[in-house]
Structure 1
Amino acid sequence: MNDSQRCHPTLSLPDKGQIQLTSQTPLPAHLLAQLETLLSWEVKQTVPLSLMADFKAREDLFQLAKLLQSHNPRLAGNHILIKLRKDQALNGSPPKTEPFQWWEEAQPLDVWLEKMEKESFLFLLQNEAVTFAAQPIYQLDAAHSTAELYGYELLMRPMGLAQRPDQLFALARTMDLHVALDALCRQKAIELSMHCLPGNVKRFINFLPTAIYNPEHCLRETFATIDRLKAPADLFVFEVVETEAVQNICHLQHIFDTCQQHGIQVALDDVCSGHNTLDMLIALQPHYAKLDRSVISHIDTEPHQQRLVSALVDLCATYNITLLAEGIESEEEWRCLKSLGVSLGQGYWLGRPQLLNPA
């Protein structure tokens, strides 16, 4: 896939047309009622069952897929087939007079649902249908009631899709579109944060290093967005997130260097999670190091975790790295981290993510 295809994927679904669903066995009555409501089908339970309806927008198909997915795999034994037909007058063309022609062969339900999952993701990319929730980050050197707000982490939320963000990125990888999704998320996070958040707080924005195969090229639009909004570059902290080990530290260092050349700070996520080791922390020397939740959980009752965090506080001070504790879920954890000298914290006890509303 070339750069243009990565950035401008296209949908293969028709904008409107007809859909036919056939089943060799009866469908559940409550599913039939939902189908009637969704696509105005007049449904009669027959065997074999054959339903046909118009759809006026791709969103109708996505809603149908979502409904059928909610009943899957209970429908697996029904031998359901689905096929689509393009609208004959699509794009203003005159209606065709030849016999009825289906656009595609009938597909089993599982195959069709898998296809629709990918098509709905492409629709999300084309329509930039992502928004963000912001979770506050506080300084830990004051009482909880007077803790000073330091910044927010921007957490992506897909609009209209059931997948979690990690599932969406996993799907994007299978389609070689994680580059486009990561770029879209950076752009939207910057734009929403400047519209919705206070002007003087840090914005922590996640990125996948594997999606930035060429930092100068892949980050060009990101830097242009910051310039277009006349936003101070030092408000932004680009945070590495990756579920697997970083394979190429030199490449990650190149990304960090490119960000810093544009005045953007960087953070290493999930420190002490297993693959983000202290050697990597020392080699990269980011502005921020975010402690993995596994180190924070019940730290107030675990002396070995306290010793580890205390050593990390000293190490980060040596390299001028600000330490941030993620996943603080109790007052006891907060008090312990504060006493150990951790500078920043976030977690449900301090504040839950809140959806940003640009209205």
Structure 2
Amino acid sequence: MDKIDKGYIDWLRYRTVLYDPLTGIPTVEARMDEIRRVLRDNGRILVLYFSFLEKLEKFIGRENFDSLFIKAIASIKSSIENGILCLLGSGSGEVILFVEPDTKNSNRSAESYKEEIERIVTETLKNSSVISAIEPVYRIGTSYLIFDPMIKFERQVHNAIIMSISDAIQREESIRKKKVEEMEWIIANNMLVTYYQSIVNLEDYSIIGFEALNRAKDSAYFPNAEYFFAFALETDLLFDLERLCRLNAVRNFEKLDDYRLFINFAPKSIYDPELFSENFLEEIENKGLSPENVVFEITERLSVIDFPSFKEAIDRLRGMGFGIAIDDMGTGFSTLQSVAEISPDFLKYDMALVRNIHKDHIKQAILETLVPFAEKINATIIAEGIENPDDLKTLKSLGVRYGQGFLLAHPKPPPLSLEINRV
């Protein structure tokens, strides 16, 4: 019995080396004979490398990552039928496709195969819009495996794979460089459009303030704001970009009644000395505003590494008269304890927890816990992303006083719009 068990375990180990447990797809080692035959018959094979990046798995979780990977693999397999599909190693998540010459289209280029895989991956990710915040999330590269009787076959395969990976990395770096250049150009030329969205009292539909939203104008690389600012976080351009956004938010704002201006910034930007400068205070005063009219929204999605110094900077802003809001509340890394220590004036309840809350008891339970918590720390809840009348009704029944969203008012460029959809 022990011999049988040992033999079975050895067999499982051997199979794991040759086949990926998640997808059942063979590894390169398992398809060496097939690759050798095709190479001898044709003299040259296109090698395609594809992988999702590790940061995608960290962002969406292992199960969702595996699901996307399996879906992408299935699509690639059915779309490129003249390829020998395998993985670089069991569990590696790195796909190697050895493409035989296309008998139907002998002139098909390596670039066309890249484009085909990009199309497949884009289609696979299309319902995961949040992923745009961390793009790029995949690599694609190509090389050629050329038959050389003087070099060991296994080494030829290995070298071709390394070349395809190198091509993928170079391609990624080239695209990143172009994105940095475009962001620098956007900042240097102030190619931003500022919109303002009303924040509304849900009882009488009066406006209490406006959130400033900056978007890149006609940008090929930054089609949405989430990706635009997420990419800035990965560069040394964040301070420059958020400085410009703050100035645009103030300069385009009209002093009407006693409305508050809500301005977003990432936790990292709180260490920007310009935020505390006389120049910024002068910009506010030039619009007839005071710090009491301005609320800084700090996103909760991004973790705070040095909380004591972060809180010290928050206290300094509050001492100058500025209001403080925690944005994306309920979706980030902050504990209720750290939120309480910051003592925000507003807690902005994230739209992911607002959407369909009228039929989601878990979301309702979360909000039921947050409302009394907000009252105890003297904060006011603002529900974001209200788009459904039933959600609005539920939010009001749970004690939420303020809200914003397309149901009430769309973001609009200046001049400020006082029109509210009274649902």
Same fold (TM over 0.5): yes
Residue 210 in structure 1 maps to residue 268 in structure 2 = yes
Deviations 1:146-167 (A, max 9, x none): x111111111111232302232
- How far apart, CA to CA, are the structure 1 residues paired with 2:306 and 2:172? 37
Find 2:310's aligned residue among 252, 256, 264.
Answer: 252
- How far apart, CA to CA, are the structure 1 residues paired with 2:362 and 2:174? 51
Residue 219 in structure 1 maps to residue 281 in structure 2 = no
Partner of 1:129: 191
Question: Contact 2:300 / 2:331 at 8 angstroms: preserved in 1?
Answer: no
- Letter in structure 2 aligned against 1:244: L
Residue 344 in structure 1 maps to residue 406 in structure 2 = no
Question: Contact 2:232 / 2:238 at 8 angstroms: preserved in 1?
Answer: yes
Which structure shows the bigger proportion of residues in helix conformation? 2
Residue 235 in structure 1 maps to residue 293 in structure 2 = yes
| Deviation of 1:250 (Å) | 2.0
Alignment of 1:151-230 (within 5 A): 151-162=209-220, 163=222, 164-194=224-254, 198-214=256-272, 216-220=273-277, 221-230=279-288
Q: Which has the higher contact order (CA 8 A, sep 6+)?
A: 1
- Letter in structure 2 aligned against 1:349: L
Relative to the length of structure 2, the TM-score reads: 0.54
Change in Cα spacing, 1:172 to 1:314, as seen in structure 2 (3 Å) is closer
- How far apart, CA to CA, are the structure 2 residues paired with 1:193 and 1:185? 12
| Deviation of 1:336 (Å) | 1.1
| Deviation of 1:118 (Å) | 2.2
Deviations 1:215-234 (A, max 9, x none): x5543143232133331222
Find 1:117's aligned residue among 173, 179, 186.
Answer: 179
Alignment of 1:33-48 (within 5 A): none
- Letter in structure 2 aligned against 1:179: F
% identity of equivalent residues: 27
- How far apart, CA to CA, are the structure 1 residues paired with 2:337 and 2:174? 47
- How far apart, CA to CA, are the structure 1 residues paired with 2:183 and 2:229? 10
| Deviation of 1:306 (Å) | 2.4
Larger Rg: 2
Question: Contact 2:274 / 2:280 at 8 angstroms: preserved in 1?
Answer: no
SS at match of 2:233: helix
User: Please, what is the CA RMSD of the aligned residues?
Assistant: 3.1
Change in Cα spacing, 1:250 to 1:110, as seen in structure 2 (3 Å) is closer
Question: Contact 2:199 / 2:404 at 8 angstroms: preserved in 1?
Answer: yes
Aligned residues: 255
SS at match of 1:171: helix
- How far apart, CA to CA, are the structure 2 residues paired with 1:222 and 1:165? 23
- Letter in structure 2 aligned against 1:120: E
SS at match of 1:155: strand
Change in Cα spacing, 1:159 to 1:294, as seen in structure 2 (3 Å) is closer
SS at match of 1:354: coil
- Letter in structure 2 aligned against 1:130: L
Partner of 2:123: none
- Letter in structure 1 aligned against 2:214: M
Change in Cα spacing, 1:217 to 1:274, as seen in structure 2 (3 Å) is closer
- Letter in structure 2 aligned against 1:281: V
Change in Cα spacing, 1:171 to 1:337, as seen in structure 2 (3 Å) is closer
- How far apart, CA to CA, are the structure 2 residues paired with 1:305 and 1:123? 42
Question: Contact 2:301 / 2:332 at 8 angstroms: preserved in 1?
Answer: no
Deviations 1:55-83 (A, max 9, x none): xxxxxxxxxxxxxxxxxx99x99xxxxxx
Question: Contact 1:272 / 1:278 at 8 angstroms: preserved in 2?
Answer: no
Deviates more, 1:184-193 or 1:205-214: 205-214
Q: Could you list the runs of 5+ residues in structure 1 that have no partner in the other structure? A: 1-24, 29-72, 78-107
- How far apart, CA to CA, are the structure 1 residues paired with 2:347 and 2:386? 15
Change in Cα spacing, 1:181 to 1:318, as seen in structure 2 (3 Å) is same
SS at match of 2:252: helix
| Deviation of 1:109 (Å) | 8.4
Question: Contact 1:139 / 1:343 at 8 angstroms: preserved in 2?
Answer: yes
Partner of 2:342: 284
Q: Could you list the runs of 5+ residues in structure 2 that have no partner in the other structure? A: 1-108, 113-138, 143-169, 417-423
- Letter in structure 1 aligned against 2:185: F
